[in-house]
Amino acid sequence: MISLLIALPQWLQKITFTNTELVAALLSFWCVWLAAKNNILNWPVAMAGSLLYVVVFYQGALYSDAFLNVIFLGFQAFGWYKWSRRGLLNKTLKDAEKQSIETLSQPIVANLKQWLPVFIIGVILYVPWTLFVKSGTIQQWISPGSYQPPRFLYIDAALFILSICALYMQGKRWIQHWYVWVLVDVVYVPMYVLNRNFITAVLYLVYIPLAIKGYQLWKANLRERTTVD
């Protein structure tokens, strides 16, 4: 394990930036397609894409983005585990139990008292996180003795915090999380263009209509439930 950590800086430097970004973008798009097909393989594919994006964003000095993809890896591993468990449970649960689980996974419209504290905590965490990234701690851990100043420090850190908020809201099944993802994707596109991550900029441009479509599907689901109730 120690030898792997020592070799990590050299490994990061040898990887071709553009090729890595292209593969990462293709994997990320493929995982969305697999998820739409309800295929469990979307999780390992997503993990592979996130792992490559850790490298891409670290090399591009977008350190908040690099760390965000480490967090994505954790969520994706958990999602893979839950989907695997769901397949086993569906074989053993009774119809009434399955219906109860489906009800719990339905979209919810969060009220102000629910979603406002999430963003207040995000605002509180923004300053210490920005200072942490600016300190160069991440770079010193990966490549001691070298320092590349973070690019787009404040915007990248803000998008990191907003993405964490969106992930939490998504986990709670709050429909408002789609608003946050659309906002995040819209801001990411020009930032990636300015950072010369053109392939990723195109990917996030595609994510915008996908997020809008996701919101429309969730809203339709809510209408159907209201009509049935």
Q: What is the pLDDT of residue 104?
A: 43
Sign of CA dihedral 206, 212, 215, 221: negative
Question: What letter would DSSP give residue 108?
Answer: B
- Read off the pTM: 0.81
Q: Are 217 and 210 in contact (CB under 8 A)?
A: no
Q: Where are the domains of the chain?
A: 2-93+107-228
Q: Are 9 and 142 in contact (CB under 8 A)?
A: yes
For residue range 21-79, list pLDDT tens digits in order.
999 999 999 988 887 676 888 889 999 999 999 999 998 999 999 999 999 999 888 88
Please give the sequence-ordered ranges of beta strands (E in DSSP) within 66-213, or none if there are none: none
CA distance linking residue 132 with residue 136, whole number of Å:
7
